[in-house]
Amino acid sequence: MRSVLRQRALQRGQVVAIALASGFDVLSMTLAAWAEGLAISLLPHELGTSSGKPDDGRLNGMLELIEPALILGSEPVRQQLSQEWASRVLTDVALGEALGNVQALHEPARCVPADQAILQFTSGSTGLPKAVCISQAMLSANCQAIAERVAVSPSDRMVSWLPLHHDMGLSAITLAWWCGIDLVLMPTREFSRQPLAWLQALSRYKGTLSPAPTSAFALLNRLAGRVRDGELDLSAWRYAWVGAEPVFHDHLRQFESAFACHGLQSGVLQPAYGMAEAVVAVSLNPPGQSLRVRWLDTRALHALGEVIELGEGAPGSAAYLGNGKVVDGVELRIADEHGLALGEGSLGHIEIRGSSVISQYLKVEPVRRQGSDWYSTGDLGFLLDDEIYITGRTKDLITRAGVNVSPQIIEWALESSLGLAAGSVAAFSCIDGRLARESVVVVMASNALAGRELDDLRREVARTAVRHAGVQVDDLVLIRRADFPRTTSGKIQRQALCRRYLGGELSSVAATQTSLSV
């Protein structure tokens, strides 16, 4: 593979973009590029939409940002690109032919710690995502920190279905390489078609390490009844870091309960906090730790910024799950809107710094506040006993009567009370010119109506939102679950939904033009 790159006369520091499904070619090209002192950027390879429409220019926009010298992709990918980028594509078929005509190189790697290793695209909530500049030194520091916290040993085996263009998926292979352990990759599409295939792979290959987002566990909870006795053996699985989206304790506890009869041990599922801007991991729990859940007064938390614990399930309370302590090499603090540090038990902006934390995005000015070396993550949370609890993102906050409420609380409460799959509900607030007021809107997958009267559903939504978040819902909209706009990592884009709502683009079967009554 290095010989192929040499034939292309690529120069140190240039970028190789890879838009292929997980496989040997992707892994080999990544390692070869690094050995040549090149950076890589893994891009989504499945273009188009469920309706069959072509890519909307998003991939071309990514390429314009990173300006790769070489693009490794399939012929369908090449056909989607503008002429400028199509001319730089080396298809997987052409790569196979080229590899048959070159001699393998046996030379020491040319990379150094300061070299750019990865241009990692963030998920982004609107517009084109940004590219995080990750050096070899940053990558090494974060891999080592994860390995130490998870206590990786030579006997471990990584199993992953996560897309490699997402930071969590990429971390699975880089950690396996860093620690020199076995790696089993299954295509992301296979998990999408048959989610239980992930657990079958863990069972077949005796996987010990395997990360996934919360939604994967929530989905498998609904499929647990299809697994026959003796079909799975999950006893080797010892650690699963759960992240990439808000982590809710009931999803994890249900999964532990559902699959305990198949050998799953308590303490395998561990909530994590991370982001591409820190390579991937910011905080992790050690293996075997029990879930730390706090039931907090939501009014006190969001109106006063105070952490007040209530009894489990108490009216006006919501459950917040601990995401572990920061990994080595990373510092974390809670700050107010002016950048002043707050103590434990205070809600504020999460800021981080350290050896694996971003200094800037590609072609963007430094991302830290002038005179500060802290990076503001855009997330809200608090610290208790040095453990981080996430409450939401700044830009998605719902504000009513001066009280800030995280939309995740409303979404979690409705999904739980109505028995919906994770990712079936979105909540947001918007300045509604049609009604001359700020409205709180809930958009819900239309299957929530199955077997229910519309009026009954409206009342349930209203009661649940008031009980768990203390806010009144002004409008309820039902759409197909497939029509929710999502980021590359599967998160619902609330701001995109808001724009569609205000523009009258949502085809609602339950829109009300007045507040929902309790």
How many CA atoms lie less than 13 Å away from 62 in the CB half-sphere?
29
Query: To which residue do tokens 């806010």 refer?
Result: 471
Q: What average pLDDT does range 91-113 have in this prediction?
A: 80
Q: What average pLDDT does range 474-498 have in this prediction?
A: 86
How many CA atoms lie less than 13 Å away from 116 in the CB half-sphere?
21
Nearest to 142 by CA among 112, 177, 109: 177
Residues 487-507: tens digit of each pLDDT: 877 788 888 888 788 767 775
Query: To which residue do tokens 């523009």 refer?
Result: 503
Residue 451: partners with Cβ closer than 8 Å, 6 or more residues away: none
Q: What average pLDDT does range 36-56 have in this prediction?
A: 67
The more confidently predicted of residues 215 and 171 is 171
Where, residue-wise, is CATH 3.30.300.30 in the chain?
A: 397-502
User: In Å, how far are 102, 155, 395, 493 from 292, measured between CA atoms?
Assistant: 55, 29, 27, 28
Q: What average pLDDT does range 346-353 have in this prediction?
A: 93
CB 215 within 8 A of CB 195: no
Nearest to 33 by CA among 114, 104, 116, 134: 116
- What is the predicted pLDDT for the residue at 512? 42
The more confidently predicted of residues 270 and 107 is 270
Please, which pLDDT band fits residue 364 given cuts at 50, 70 and 90?
A: confident
State the Cα–Cα distance between residues 279 and 276, nearest whole angstrom: 5
CB 18 within 8 A of CB 40: yes
Longest dimension (CA), the chain: 73
State the Cα–Cα distance between residues 62 and 130, nearest whole angstrom: 9
Hey, what amino acid is at 448? A
Please, which pLDDT band fits residue 437 given cuts at 50, 70 and 90?
A: low
CATH for 142-394 is: 3.40.50.12780
Per the DSSP assignment, residues forming a β-bridge with 380 are 349, 392
Q: What average pLDDT does range 18-26 have in this prediction?
A: 89
- What is the predicted pLDDT for the residue at 260? 96
Residues 379-393: tens digit of each pLDDT: 889 999 999 998 877
Hey, what amino acid is at 7? Q
Strands 398-400 and 403-405: antiparallel
Please determine, for residue 473, whether its predicted confidence score (pLDDT) is greater than 50: yes
Q: What average pLDDT does range 32-45 have in this prediction?
A: 92
Q: What average pLDDT does range 234-248 have in this prediction?
A: 89
Q: Which two tokens stand for residue 135?
A: 């050096």
Alpha-carbon 79 to chain mean position:
29
State the Cα–Cα distance between residues 207 and 199, nearest whole angstrom: 9
Where, residue-wise, is CATH 3.40.50.980 in the chain?
A: 2-111
Please determine, for residue 397, whether its predicted confidence score (pLDDT) is greater than 60: yes
- What is the predicted pLDDT for the residue at 383? 95
Q: Is 67 left (phi over 0), alpha (psi -120 to 50) or beta?
A: left
Per the DSSP assignment, residues forming a β-bridge with 334 are 342, 350
Please determine, for residue 375, whether its predicted confidence score (pLDDT) is greater than 70: yes
Residues 283-324: tens digit of each pLDDT: 999 999 999 999 988 778 876 788 999 998 888 788 889 999
- What is the predicted pLDDT for the residue at 15? 97
Alpha-carbon 422 to chain mean position:
14
Alpha-carbon 75 to chain mean position:
28
- What is the predicted pLDDT for the residue at 48? 41
Listed range (140-149, 379-388, 390-399, 470-479) with the worst mean pLDDT: 390-399
Listed range (10-14, 67-71, 436-440) with the worst mean pLDDT: 436-440
Please determine, for residue 128, whether its predicted confidence score (pLDDT) is greater than 70: no
- For domain 2-111, the CATH architecture is 3-Layer(aba) Sandwich (3.40)
Residue 259: partners with Cβ closer than 8 Å, 6 or more residues away: 199, 220, 224, 227, 232, 234
Please, which pLDDT band fits residue 335 given cuts at 50, 70 and 90?
A: very high
Per the DSSP assignment, residues forming a β-bridge with 19 are 73
b/e burial code for range 383-394 (CB count within 10 A of at least 16 → b): bbeebbbbbbbe
Please, which pLDDT band fits residue 434 given cuts at 50, 70 and 90?
A: low
CB 53 within 8 A of CB 25: no
Please determine, for residue 62, whether its predicted confidence score (pLDDT) is greater than 80: yes
Class of domain 397-502: alpha beta
- What is the predicted pLDDT for the residue at 132? 93
Please determine, for residue 251, whether its predicted confidence score (pLDDT) is greater than 60: yes
pTM > 0.85: no
The more confidently predicted of residues 100 and 406 is 406
Where, residue-wise, is CATH 3.40.50.12780 in the chain?
A: 142-394
Please, which pLDDT band fits residue 172 given cuts at 50, 70 and 90?
A: very high
Long-range contacts from 454-459, C-beta under 8 angstroms, 24+ separation: 454/509, 454/510, 457/510, 458/510, 458/512, 458/516, 458/517, 459/516, 459/517, 459/518
State the Cα–Cα distance between residues 77 and 89, nearest whole angstrom: 9
Long-range contacts from 497-500, C-beta under 8 angstroms, 24+ separation: 497/426, 497/428, 497/443, 498/428, 498/430, 498/441
Most confident of 91-95, 100-104, 282-286: 282-286
Mean pLDDT in the chain?
A: 86
CB 7 within 8 A of CB 19: no
- What is the predicted pLDDT for the residue at 496? 83
Percentage of the chain exceeding pLDDT 70: 89
State the Cα–Cα distance between residues 129 and 122, nearest whole angstrom: 5
Listed range (14-28, 102-116, 150-164) with the worst mean pLDDT: 102-116
How long is the chain?
Answer: 518
Query: To which residue do tokens 């209203």 refer?
Result: 462
Q: What is the DSSP letter of 196?
A: H
Please, which pLDDT band fits residue 92 given cuts at 50, 70 and 90?
A: confident
Percentage of the chain exceeding pLDDT 90: 51
Give the DSSP H/E element, type plus range, for residue 498.
helix 494-502
Please determine, for residue 455, whether its predicted confidence score (pLDDT) is greater than 50: yes
